[in-house]
Structure 1
């Protein structure tokens, strides 16, 4: 059986903060392990600043139905990599094949990161994302593979896995490729309508779970009126720079065909109109804008539309470019 005793050194060399969990060099499952890629997961546990790695014990020791270790490393709320194993782990199951990863035994084919967030009402923190990108780039370089060998469990699973939730995996691979080419990890942050302290809307905005295309557990809706009454998304922008602004909405034939998204830029508010009857359930680019540094409302969904149908506010993502 092959092992990866170089893992800790490679991660630290990439600037990733590492905690070694016990006898990681000898903690592994029986069977072959010859990895050609890296697989991202979420744990389904709710992490926080005060409880940053709630799933660590189960990732080390496993469950009654699945013996541990369950990953090579767990990524906690603060982006710290807890290295658990240098060998084969029960994290991937059967691979149905994805990109250059063939069908077969996923536990043989891939190194697994379990990123500790619940994936339903909680998304990955920026610290988790940035550390995971840096770690993935470094490990793939060590394996002699390119960024296409970074996959999400939902891409390889044959049993309908959804992890890692709330992550655009093509964007992830682009960030890994940039890191491998010598660039830094792009800053990116997502605010959902349920993100605590980051979304505000008046009582005129209702809550709905009607569409399966929603981002997260629900979304907000309101009738169009001749007044802004915007729902606002607040971001802590790290530096005055150019950012790609993307929005996610569930599409429906009865929704608004001219929904105004307001972006607060360094030169004032810019408005982009989108047709929410189509292109739902995915990230859609509103444009690139120069945004000022600081923590403030950056993107709003206005109700001021001359078109009929509900105006929808679901999720917004900013990425530095």
Structure 2
């Protein structure tokens, strides 16, 4: 049976932080293993800064109904790769085929990353996303495959798997391709509420540093009203293209459950409503939009919400994809 004893060296060479979990070279399931691609999962466990890898033990040892190891590596909340196995793992089940990955035994065909987040009211952190990109690009390069050989479990599953949730897999593959082509130097820009000349809001928006989940020194807040009164984030977009739009907010039970973010796209404004009571302290993807080139207000937070609770404006990030 083939193994991938090069995995740790390849990950570290790509700048991925690695923790080796015990005898990873000899921890594996019986059966064939001749991988041609990478499969992305989420663990369904809730990770956090204080508990960054709650599913690690299960991924190593398995469950009563499925013996471990359950992946080649677990990606924790901070983007650290915990390498578990150099051989076959019980992570993929039967592959129904997706892209260039054929139908067949997914555990033979693919190397699995279990990204440790719950996938219900929690998405992968920016650290998990970026580490997964770097690791996937490095491993596919080692296998001699292109980014199309990276798949999500929901794409190959024959049993209705939904993982990994809250991610556009085509965008993630495009980001892997960018890494493979030139080190992932796609344009990206972040504007915080304190970024000079890049954030504007009326005097109705207060300033707070109450939540430790804030991005930077503080954030802005306002009561919801039946009027727009937008807090705007200004970006100098380099070219008309597709951009991933992400927002950061501190979560609190007293904040707004339907806070409206406005994205000024090439075809007009689009509104995305988010629940600012939950999943704070991390980048949350609002979507991928075509934005026009130029220096202008591109993303805003409006006060026009029918929900109760304060509307928060903290930070926004654009990344060309």
Instruction: Tell me the TM-score normalised to structure 2 length.
Output: 0.69
C-alpha separation in 1, matches of 2:120 and 2:127: 19
Q: CA offset at residue 318 of structure 1?
A: 4.1
Distance 1:286 1:55, change over 3 A: same
Distance 2:184 2:139 in 1: 16
SS in 2 for 1:133: helix
Aligned to 1:285: 289
Match of 1:93 in 2: 93
Secondary structure of the structure 2 residue equivalent to 1:86: coil
Stretches of 4+ moved more than 6 A in 1? Answer: 198-203, 289-292
**CA, structure 1 residues 271+174, in 2 after alignment: closer, same or farther (shift >3 Å)?**
closer
2:155 equivalent in structure 1: 155
Shift of 1:181: 1.1
Q: Which residue of 2 aligns with 1:244?
A: 243
Task: Specify the SS of the correspondent of 2:103.
Answer: strand
Shift in CA distance, 111/319, structure 1 to aligned 2, threshold 3 Å:
farther
Q: Deviations over 1:216-273 (max 9, x none)?
A: xxxxxxxxx5x2155x799xx9x9875925499xxxxxxxxxx98266xxxxxx9942
Deviation at 1:300, TM superposition (A): 1.8
1:62/1:143 Cα in 2 relative to 1: closer, same or farther (>3 Å)? same
1:32-77: CA deviation from partner (whole Å, max 9, x where unpaired): 0000000000001011111110000000000000000000000001
Residue in 2 that maps onto 1:50: 50
Contact 2:20 / 2:82 at 8 angstroms: preserved in 1? yes
1:40-79 equivalences in 2 (<5 Å): 40-79=40-79
Q: CA deviation at 1:202?
A: 6.3
Task: Spell out, residue by residue over 1:273-306, the C-alpha distance to the aligned partner (whole angstroms, 9 max, x if none).
Answer: 2489xxxxx94515156789xxxx95324649xx
SS at match of 1:320: strand
TM-score, length basis structure 1 = 0.69
User: How large is the Cα RMSD of the aligned pairs?
Assistant: 3.8
For residues 301 and 245 of structure 1, the distance between their equivalents in structure 2, rounded to whole angstroms, comes to 20
Asked if residue 261 in structure 1 is aligned to residue 262 in structure 2, the reply is: yes
Quote the Cα distance in structure 1 between the aligned partners of 2:149 and 2:63. Answer: 28
- Rounded to whole Å, the distance in 2 between the matches of 1:188 and 1:93 is 39
| CA displacement, residues 151-183 of structure 1 (integer Å, 9 cap, x when unaligned) | 000100111111111111111111111111122
2:116 corresponds to: 116
Preserved CA contact (<8 Å) 1:134 1:185: no
Q: Deviations over 1:48-107 (max 9, x none)?
A: 111110000000000000000000000001100000000000000010100000001000
Structure 2 residue runs of 5 or longer lacking an equivalent are 191-212, 248-259, 273-285
Aligned pair count reads 258
Alignment of 1:21-36 (within 5 A): 21-36=21-36
1:133 aligns with 2:137: no
Partner residue in 2 for 1:228: 228
SS at match of 1:173: helix
Judge conservation of contact 1:133–1:185 (CA < 8 Å) in 2.
no
Residues 1:299 and 2:300 are matched in the alignment: yes
